[in-house]
């Protein structure tokens, strides 16, 4: 079976992988549409924890069901479904404690393309179809469904953990795909003023479409000073971190309000060591600023909620698809696009004809 794999850190390629084996609650699927994301770039080029040899990459996919196990109730062969990027083991004991994303061990919800074979292959297995796969409602396009499985749910996760109230001022640090969906999420949750921070014109234009009232750039000066100037020195009620290096965490703490401000992070920080917490803007430990460091929410119910937002035209994540390629073999080209990020790129969709 043809599959796109991580051969070793920094080296990818095609591999003759073993066929997936059907399990009682599972389903075997064939990808219909895929997209690599920044997490795939980090996995390949950014180091991190050791990965199994010839690990099949990919965790963003819309797919056709080929076979289902004898314990599957809700899905049938032939259906086209959304495959969430985050696939918790909903039968793990820690799920009953509300710990769906880290049940049993850290990042247990983030399995596809990390600790189990991913979706960039001719066929792949989802071990628990009924709790994981999401039904796509009528009227939702392939592009829209594909953007729901990771990008939209991650951006909305960032907005949800920012504790947004009606009338709030919210800053979104990084307006790539995740940040764009954080902007959309913040708008739907009642933020009055949404300040996007980014430099790429294509993303700035989309940020305004999704609800940003202002877009600022580090090229125009220190972003913390700009936000403080725009808020009469108070800072933002909420800051959602969706991109950038280690410095963005400090910036977020610097620019969020004392006493009631919330920093919500869905950004990935590569490498080891520490992320600096500023003593002064952190009130020397007593600033009353809340910090959430979150992995995206996943699973069937979550993604079907995202799809419902699209179905009823509350948000159109399909606008983020700026590039389209055809054929499974184009996944490699798509990954390089996400790696090098040409100025007109937001997301690339690979349709498997």
- Write the DSSP symbol of residue 152: I
Place of tokens 């769906």: 100
pLDDT of amino acid 333: 96
Integer CA distances (angstroms), 331 to 145, 199, 264, in order? 18, 27, 31
pLDDT of amino acid 137: 98
Judgement on whether residues 199 and 215 belong to the same structural domain of the protein: yes
Predicted confidence (pLDDT) per residue in 215-271, tens digit: 999 999 999 999 999 999 999 999 999 999 999 999 999 999 999 999 999 999 988
283, pLDDT greater than 90: yes
311, pLDDT greater than 80: yes
Predicted confidence (pLDDT) per residue in 7-51, tens digit: 988 899 999 999 999 999 999 999 999 999 988 888 888 766 778
Question: Among residues 256, 272, 293, which one ends one of the domains?
Answer: 293
Judgement on whether residues 209 and 240 belong to the same structural domain of the protein: yes
Q: What is the DSSP string of 7-42?
A: EETTEEEEEEPPPPPP-TT-EEEEEEEE---HHHHH
Question: Among residues 249, 277, 293, which one ends one of the domains?
Answer: 293
Find the mean pLDDT for residues 286-299. Answer: 96
Give the structural domain span for 346: 2-150+296-351
pLDDT of amino acid 91: 87
265: domain CATH number is: 3.40.50.720
CA angle 38, 151, 316 (to 5 degrees): 140
Judgement on whether residues 279 and 322 belong to the same structural domain of the protein: no
Judgement on whether residues 274 and 342 belong to the same structural domain of the protein: no
Beta strands 262-265 and 290-293, pairing class: parallel
Judgement on whether residues 169 and 137 belong to the same structural domain of the protein: no
pTM of the model: 0.96
């Amino acid at each position: 079976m043809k599959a796109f794999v991580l051969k070793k850190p920094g080296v990818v390629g095609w591999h003759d992988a073993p066929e997936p084996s059907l399990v009682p609650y599972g389903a075997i699927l064939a990808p219909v549409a895929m997209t690599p994301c920044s997490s795939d770039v980090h996995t390949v080029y950014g180091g991190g924890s050791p990965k199994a040899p010839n690990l099949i990459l990919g965790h963003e996919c819309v797919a056709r069901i080929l076979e289902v196990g004898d314990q599957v109730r809700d899905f049938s062969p032939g259906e086209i479904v959304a495959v969430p990027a985050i696939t918790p083991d909903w039968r793990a004991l820690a799920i009953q404690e509300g710990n769906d994303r880290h049940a049993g061990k850290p990042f247990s919800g983030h399995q596809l393309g990390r600790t189990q074979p991913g979706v960039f292959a001719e066929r792949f297995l989802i071990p628990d179809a009924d709790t994981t796969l999401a039904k796509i409602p009528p009227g939702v396009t392939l592009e829209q469904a594909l953007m729901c499985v990771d990008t939209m749910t991650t951006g909305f996760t960032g907005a949800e953990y920012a504790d947004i109230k009606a009338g709030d001022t919210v800053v979104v640090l990084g307006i790539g795909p995740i940040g764009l969906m954080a902007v959309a999420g913040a708008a739907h949750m009642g933020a009055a003023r949404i300040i996007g921070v980014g430099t790429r014109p294509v993303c700035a234009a989309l940020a305004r479409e999704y609800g940003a009232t202002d877009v600022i750039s580090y090229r125009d000066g220190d972003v913390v000073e700009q936000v403080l100037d725009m808020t009469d020195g108070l800072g933002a009620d909420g800051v959602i971190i969706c991109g950038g290096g280690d410095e963005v965490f400090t910036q977020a703490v610097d620019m969020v309000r004392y006493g009631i401000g919330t920093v919500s992070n869905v950004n990935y920080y590569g490498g080891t060591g520490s992320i600096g917490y500023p003593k002064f803007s952190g009130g020397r430990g007593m600033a009353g600023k809340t910090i959430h460091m979150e992995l995206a929410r996943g699973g069937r119910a979550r993604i079907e909620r995202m799809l419902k937002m699209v179905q009823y035209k509350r948000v159109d994540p399909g606008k983020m698809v700026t590039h389209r390629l055809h054929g499974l073999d184009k996944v490699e080209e798509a990954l390089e696009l996400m790696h090098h990020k040409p100025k007109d790129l937001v997301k690339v969709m690979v349709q498997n004809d």
